[in-house]
Amino acid sequence: MVPATAVPIDDPQVAELYRRLAGLTGSLVVELNRAVALAKADDAAAALRVVDGLDLDSYLYLHSTRGWLLRQLGRDAEARAAYRRALELATSTPERRFLARQLEEIRPRLSPGRPLVRGLDEDHCERRKRVNERTDGDLQGQGRTHRRRAGGR
């Protein structure tokens, strides 16, 4: 939590300072930090261009940052791939937990009319529901009770 008296961070200025530092040091990690500052300054697309230009494939934080940026841009499938790559590179339990959580939080974005599961459209689901209702009625008519499992027994 940031104290109420804290001065707001000037993210564009931070990005500019990282640009200067990267020019002085030639550090790719500083460039990665500049990308984060760019994203915080509301330019995730520019930040992603910076990240995609860095030769840091074996660096965990490149991939986790890339996943974060892709999520901001609504490119969830690519974000999942980036987080999976980061997870492959992670060696500590806290990092692995964090990355696994990031992956779990990404849900497929459904466009209107698109089925949740490939091959299952609304008609299929409706037909399946009617079959289940008939089966339930038949079983009850034969003196048996039929309960569907919901989340276990």
Question: Residues with Cβ < 8 Å from 12, sequence gap 6 or more?
Answer: 37, 41
**pLDDT score, position 129:** 53
65-86 pLDDT per residue, tens: 999 999 999 999 999 999 999 9
Q: Are 18 and 37 in contact (CB under 8 A)?
A: yes
The full set of domains in the chain, from first to last, is 11-108 (1.25.40.10), 118-153 (no CATH)
For residue 126, name the pLDDT band (cuts at 50, 70, 90).
low
Percentages helix, strand, coil for the chain (3-state, rounded to 5) are: 65, 0, 35
Handedness of CA 138, 139, 141, 145 (dihedral sign): negative
What does pTM read for this prediction?
A: 0.66
93-121 pLDDT per residue, tens: 999 999 999 999 987 655 444 443 344 34
Question: Residues with Cβ < 8 Å from 41, sequence gap 6 or more?
Answer: 11, 12, 14, 15
How far, in Å, CA of 85 to CA of 66, rounded? 10
**pLDDT score, position 87:** 96
Report the chain's mean pLDDT, rounded to a whole number.
Answer: 80
pLDDT beyond 60 at 124: no
pLDDT beyond 50 at 29: yes
